[in-house]
Structure 1
Amino acid sequence: MAQKHRITRFFLAVLSAMVIVSFSSDPVFADKKKINIRFSTWHVPSGADVQKLWIPMLEEMKKRSNNRITYTMYSGGALGKGPDHFDIVKTGLSDMGYATLSWTPGRFPLTDVLSSPIVCPAKWKGVEAGMAMYDRMLSPEFKDVKVLHINNCVMAHLWTTRAVTRLEDLQGMKIRSPGGLQTRAIQALGATPVFMPLGDVYLSMETGVIDGVVTCPALVKAFKLNEVAGFGVPTSFGCVSEGLFVNKRFWERVPEDLKPIIESVGRDAYKIAGIFDEGWYAATMAEFKTTMEIEELSPAEQQRWDDRFRKMLVAWAEELEAKGLPGKKALTAFREELGRVGVGFNACPY
């Protein structure tokens, strides 16, 4: 009798194990698993990008997934320097992250078109135009990652330690450039572009190592550059090309029912957070005017700057064409996509 009970218990144990294995391998059961996103960005931990954009975005993913998506934040230099952040995601050091593409010159040659001198005060519009360009012609440059969005950031302006009202004032000035087409734009205006980490700009401006910086209002605020820049020229240099990316191996492990949540929230991050839009831009520039002299160029002077920008873009496009890349087509396509979201591109030569 005892042996019979042992045999029965044995078969029950085997049956239970088979049931567990069956449920574990069932796609519906498997899709209920949780994932933790290791998120990376070079943005400073206390800045608006982390506190008012990335954390709200990740919290929205968590909310829509009924807490099946969690996250760990690695901001600032936690995982590497600013230019390293695309590779931080690509290699799997993080699962998802934000990277500035213009900081790695020559690596994304066509995507540099997003850093053209356009007039875009809202980052969600940059995402719409950027993703339209991704669909039209930029996707081959991103085979190593899953793209949630690419964009042209909010337009960058010129912030200096002395007044600039005309081209002649820029001669001999050393201006920190974020890379991309803004380096060429600074050169086209007669100044000398200097590349350095944003964290070094404050002291460099304070001590006279450089005379100014081209960057967007968000980073002026995040790095407190308004404390050392007494003057601002709110003409648009465009801004850097950037994007939100996911490691491919991680993406393959994400349950299928969670992928649409990540894609939707990642694509609409700026709309969801309600930041870096026209209202935010206007309020930030008004705040800067309380401590800095911010003067727009006269219409005639703006035309002179735009003429320089157009010549710069022609030269850039011709260099790409010589390498077999459709530079002219990229500029034309970008102008068309910007027009669809109401963004101006007066400097476009085509």
Structure 2
Amino acid sequence: MSVLSLKNLSTMAVSVAMALSITACGGSEKPATSGDAKAEAAADAVKLRFSHFWPATSSIQKEVFEPWAKKIQEESGGRLVVEIYPSAQLSKPQATYDAAVKGMVDIGSQAQGYTNGRFPLTQITELPGLSSSASQMGCMMQTLYDNGTIASEYEDSHLLFMYGAGPGTLHTTDKLIEKPEDMKGLRIRRPSAVAGDLIESMGAQPVGMPAGEVYTSLQKGVMDGLSFPWEATETFRINEVAKNHTNIPFYSSGLMVTMNKAKYDSLPDDLKKVLDDNSGMDLAMQVGKVFDKHDKAVIDKVKAEGHNVAEIPDPLNDPDWAEPLKKGTEKYLTDVAATGKDANAVYEAAKAASEACKVK
């Protein structure tokens, strides 16, 4: 072999060795991939534990809360992760607001009516005649919060959004209720103080009980019926044991999603903005549309299955129902006013918001 060939081989060997050395040493300096960035974001993510009482299979869980959590995670670039705990896993239904206030959970959803006397001004929105749909109820509540009418009741937390369920109608196991006197002596589950006053004004016995216990109580005869939105009767399987329904806007349920104030305040401004952009009236209306859709579907379903359904579409102008419902309304407003709060002013504001929310 010639000297030139030997020199060429030597040069090639040195070049290969240098290349291998550079590759080995430089591996740790290669640019980060999108996967690496996602992993880093996930490691640094702020996790928010969200507790609520709705079942994991409920429409609000599947069609509102899960998409909401996903949107927040996406818009924050993975830096905010909402971990949802349905079915009251982390907090009791009636204690979820306080759990959020105290930081036992980061976010919580509760019906105001679950804590008697805690949100008396907000619960004025539950009175009969103010709402005929979940959309109207949520819009009315969010309006009253946004304009300051009821905001003082939430100063110990960071409210994300209000929402309303559809009108609470009457559902019974053995007896179809067509007139108020048909309720006399019946044990009816009361979801809130407002509904309790109305139930009592008609001679029935109001019974306090978490929504998750109602099915068994009806099945065992501990209760005769309840006032519940149509969507919730399907969610909590009430229609399996109660096949008599009075389709009357008896009252409306208000609910909220709120956050621990210190947790919210600890976030950087850009993450606060992500939460702010996914709060307020837009979310109130999203929930309303979901509940309204399912309310109609459940009504159609029970009628198709042959359940007994009495229709009382306008009870405040019905000769049988108007007087007891107005009596119950006056009692609630009087009781709130007795605590020093201007119940009548809030009631007037609620009526104005109700009217404005009809077109939303």
TM-score, structure 1 length as denominator?
A: 0.83
- Which of these residues, 184, 188, 202, is aligned with residue 189 of structure 1? 202
1:222 match: 235
1:302 to partner: Cα distance: 3.1
- Which of these residues, 145, 149, 154, is aligned with residue 157 of structure 2? 145
> Could you tell me whether the CA contact under 8 Å between 2:170 and 2:245 is conserved in 1?
yes
1:77 to partner: Cα distance: 2.5
Q: Which amino acid aligns with 1:259?
A: K
Q: Which runs of 5+ in 2 are unaligned?
A: 1-43
Cα separation, 1, equivalents of 2:69 and 2:181: 47
1:277 to partner: Cα distance: 4.7
> Could you tell me whether the CA contact under 8 Å between 1:122 and 1:276 is conserved in 2?
no
> Could you tell me whether the CA contact under 8 Å between 1:130 and 1:151 is conserved in 2?
yes
Q: Which stretch of the first structure deviates more once superposed, 212-221 or 111-120?
A: 111-120
1:56 to partner: Cα distance: 1.1
Is 1:281 matched up with 2:281?
no
* 1:189-338 alignment runs, 5 A limit: 189-267=202-280, 268-269=282-283, 271-272=285-286, 275-291=289-305, 292-297=307-312, 302-338=318-354
1:122 to partner: Cα distance: 4.0
Question: Number of residue pairs matched?
Answer: 312
Alignment CA distance shift 1:274-1:130 (3 Å): closer
1:269 to partner: Cα distance: 2.6
1:160 to partner: Cα distance: 0.6
Cα separation, 1, equivalents of 2:176 and 2:138: 33
Cα separation, 1, equivalents of 2:222 and 2:286: 40
* 1:54-65 alignment runs, 5 A limit: 54-65=65-76
Q: Which amino acid aligns with 2:320?
A: R
* Residue-by-residue CA offset, 1:315-344 (whole Å, 9 max, x unaligned): 22222223211111111110100000118x
Cα separation, 2, equivalents of 1:223 and 1:277: 14
> Could you tell me whether the CA contact under 8 Å between 1:154 and 1:276 is conserved in 2?
no
> Could you tell me whether the CA contact under 8 Å between 1:100 and 1:241 is conserved in 2?
yes
2:115 match: 104
> Could you tell me whether the CA contact under 8 Å between 1:152 and 1:241 is conserved in 2?
yes
* Residue-by-residue CA offset, 1:110-139 (whole Å, 9 max, x unaligned): 122122124645434323211221223211
Percent sequence identity over aligned pairs:
23
- Which of these residues, 171, 188, 191, is aligned with residue 184 of structure 2? 171
> Could you tell me whether the CA contact under 8 Å between 1:102 and 1:241 is conserved in 2?
yes
Q: Which amino acid aligns with 2:310?
A: E
Q: Which has the larger radius of gyration?
A: 2
Q: Which amino acid aligns with 1:131?
A: Q
Structure 1 counterpart SS, 2:311: coil
Structure 2 counterpart SS, 1:239: strand
Cα separation, 1, equivalents of 2:298 and 2:320: 27
Cα separation, 2, equivalents of 1:59 and 1:151: 19
> Could you tell me whether the CA contact under 8 Å between 2:60 and 2:287 is conserved in 1?
no
Structure 1 counterpart SS, 2:83: strand
Cα separation, 2, equivalents of 1:173 and 1:273: 32
Cα separation, 2, equivalents of 1:167 and 1:115: 19
Alignment CA distance shift 1:271-1:338 (3 Å): closer
Structure 2 counterpart SS, 1:199: helix
Alignment CA distance shift 1:216-1:63 (3 Å): same
Q: Which amino acid aligns with 1:104?
A: T
- Which of these residues, 71, 81, 86, is aligned with residue 97 of structure 2? 86
> Could you tell me whether the CA contact under 8 Å between 1:62 and 1:69 is conserved in 2?
yes
Alignment CA distance shift 1:298-1:88 (3 Å): closer
Cα separation, 2, equivalents of 1:189 and 1:236: 15
1:256 to partner: Cα distance: 0.8
1:19 match: none
Cα separation, 2, equivalents of 1:270 and 1:150: 6
Q: Which runs of 5+ in 1 are unaligned?
A: 1-32, 344-350
TM-score, structure 2 length as denominator?
A: 0.80
Cα separation, 2, equivalents of 1:264 and 1:121: 28
> Could you tell me whether the CA contact under 8 Å between 1:86 and 1:98 is conserved in 2?
yes
- Over the residues paired in the alignment, what is the CA RMSD in angstroms? 2.2
Alignment CA distance shift 1:60-1:204 (3 Å): same
